[in-house]
Amino acid sequence: MSKPGKRGKAAGKTRYVFSYEPLGAPESEPKPDAAAEREARDDEVAEFLTQVAEVAFEAGPKGLELRSVDVASRTCSFRHTGEPDPRPLVRAGDPSAPPPQETADEPSGVVLLGSPSWAHLAHLVAELPFLFSFRGYGPEGGPELCGVDAPTREWADVLVEHRGEHWRVRVELEGRERPIEFPGMEIGELFGEGGYEKYLVEGTTDLLDAGI
């Protein structure tokens, strides 16, 4: 009669075999939509332009006047005039402003006539971010802001792109008949409403003078 054999050490135990397969590449982070990216860029540009304007207001009385602004590179340049413009900066709402009846219709902070050209230019730069609100204005849509070029105290050109074409919109700094108030809105409406080619300066292909 044979004896029962001994049970192996693994007898009565259950072995589990695991296998693992990844479910696939992890889901990528959701990309911000174009509107959010544009809004973030607009905020950055607005902050940059505000800082440029603040520096221009501080530097003007010292004879350093804003020369150019480039939106894409977030850079600006100044020129040394040698002799500061002696005229004082006058803003609506300031104690030094003309009598109330002369400024009643001007929003507080607007640079008033009689101020030096560098002050009008600094105010122009500070107001340009309002142009972003006019992208969808009118049948043509507003332009994209590219920068500002001010080679002289007499005038400055606001540089914009509209429907793939680049334009210069002239803004007088000297001899103005009214303060610069809402240049972003005026430029946005100029392009959005169409027909802006009628303001093309004779002998040029890209310079518009619409009295802004």
What's the pLDDT tens digit per position in 38-71?
Answer: 999 999 999 999 999 999 999 999 999 999 999 9
The model's pLDDT over 71-110, given as tens digits with 9 standing for 90+, comes to 999 999 999 998 899 999 999 987 655 554 344 466 668 9
Matching residue, tokens 């108030």:
181
Give the pLDDT mean for 164-188: 97
Greater model confidence, 158 or 9: 158
Is the whole model's pTM more than 0.85, yes or no? no
Does pLDDT of 16 surpass 80? Answer: no
**Under 8 Å between Cβ of 171 and 155:** yes
Helical residues (DSSP H) of the chain, grouped into ranges = 34-59, 100-103, 117-127, 183-192
**Dihedral sign computed on CA atoms, order 129, 135, 139, 143:** positive
**Under 8 Å between Cβ of 112 and 90:** yes
Lowest mean pLDDT among 20-24, 33-37, 139-143, 156-160: 20-24
Give the pLDDT mean for 156-162: 98
The confidence score (pLDDT) of residue 101 equals 38
**Under 8 Å between Cβ of 168 and 208:** yes
The model's pLDDT over 5-14, given as tens digits with 9 standing for 90+, comes to 444 444 455 4
Closest CA to 147 of 43, 49, 69: 69
Query: Please, what is the Cα angle at 97 between 95 and 102, to 5 degrees?
Result: 130
The confidence score (pLDDT) of residue 119 equals 98
Alpha-carbon distance of 78 to 125, in angstroms, equals: 14
The confidence score (pLDDT) of residue 80 equals 96
